[in-house]
Each structure stands twice: as structure tokens, then as C-alpha cells.
Amino acid sequence: DQQVKQNSPSLSVQEGRISILNCDYTNSMFDYFLWYKKYPAEGPTFLISISSIKDKNEDGRFTVFLNKSAKHLSLHIVPSQPGDSAVYFCAAVKYDKVIFGPGTSLSVIP
């Protein structure tokens, strides 16, 4: 049973527009959540995190929103750039255990 879900395997967005990547989870006991970005032939790199006690965290073009009642979080990238094209993983953390979602492949079209 998947505890972290990313129901959209892929997403295409025009350059300059907003990219919204979604993630759902089933366990309300997670401490915090992470977003990772992965380019081909590389391991994932950390992008942004959010504590379970917050509902928003912003870092430059990246904003993560957490809706605890819906067990849903989303990553907003605005404006989207071609260099943002990558696979994005949502991950949930309880102490030191990390559970990853399956990833969403984002393509930003110039």
C-alpha cells in the first residue's frame, strides 16, 4: 500500500507559467515532507521541505503548500523554466525513515 502518492506521472508546462506538482499521503504521523528534483543519470537533489506544523514554505521560485486535513501537499514553481525539466519526488519523513512517492516528470516547454 503506497503511503506517498504522486498520481500524475508526467506534466507539461509552458515556460513562464506555473508548474504545480501534487502529492498525497496516507499517514498523518509524518514529521515533515521533502521535495527532490532528479535529472537523468543523477541521484535526486534536495529542493525544499516543509514541517508538518506549517502550511507553507517558500524558497525563491519554489513554494510548497501543505494541507494536513486533506493529507495533500503541492509544489509550485513559478515562473517555470526549461531547466526545471526533471523528475520531482515527494517524500515523507518520520524521524529518520523516508518514504518516497513514485515521482512526476515535469517538462517545461520553451
Q: Decide: is 22 part of the binding site for another protein (CB under 8 A).
A: no
Given 29, 70, 97, 110, the residue binding another protein (CB under 8 A): 97
In the complex, least distance from residue 83 CB atom to another protein, rounded to whole angstroms: 16
Q: Decide: is 40 part of the binding site for another protein (CB under 8 A).
A: yes
Given 87, 92, 106, 108, the residue binding another protein (CB under 8 A): 87
For the chain, give the longest Cα–Cα distance.
40
> How crowded is residue 85: how many other Cβ atoms within 10 Å of its Cβ?
19
Integer angstrom CA distances of residue 9 from 6, 49, 68: 7, 21, 23
In the complex, least distance from residue 97 CB atom to another protein, rounded to whole angstroms: 5
Q: Decide: is 44 part of the binding site for another protein (CB under 8 A).
A: yes
